[in-house]
Amino acid sequence: MGTLTPGATYIYERVGGVVYARESGKLDRQIVGYNYDEETLRSLKKWKDTKLWDDIFTASMTNPTIEEALEKVKVLYYLSKESEQK
């Protein structure tokens, strides 16, 4: 991404989920942001959560405290799944 010129007048355009800015009277534009729909936001959150759990699992291999906490989470998960099936 580039930098915007201080004091310049900008026109903002949206194409798909990308927001662009261009100086008034010019054709070159720069990406200044993104606008995601709800489905994309859910996918991003799921990806971040998956990455986080992967990091936690990796850390549990060398950190006994995290390993113990992760085992407790697993027990809670299995108990809740068992409860749902009844």
Same-domain pairing of 28 and 46 = no
Joined together, the tokens standing for residue 51 give: 């990455």
Q: What is the pLDDT of residues 8-20, one digit of tens each?
A: 899 999 888 889 9
Instruction: Return the pLDDT at 4.
Output: 73
Edge-to-edge strand ranges of the sheet holding 10-15: 10-15, 18-23, 29-34
Same-domain pairing of 53 and 79 = yes
Same-domain pairing of 16 and 50 = no
Domain that holds residue 80: 39-85
Query: What is the rounded average pLDDT for all residues in the chain?
Result: 89
Q: Rounded to an integer, what distance in angstroms lies between the CA atom of residue 80 and that of residue 70?
A: 15
How many distinct structural domains can be found in the chain? 2
Same-domain pairing of 53 and 81 = yes
Same-domain pairing of 58 and 80 = yes
Same-domain pairing of 77 and 46 = yes
Same-domain pairing of 4 and 24 = yes
SS3 65: helix
Phi, psi at 27, each rounded to 5°: -100, -30
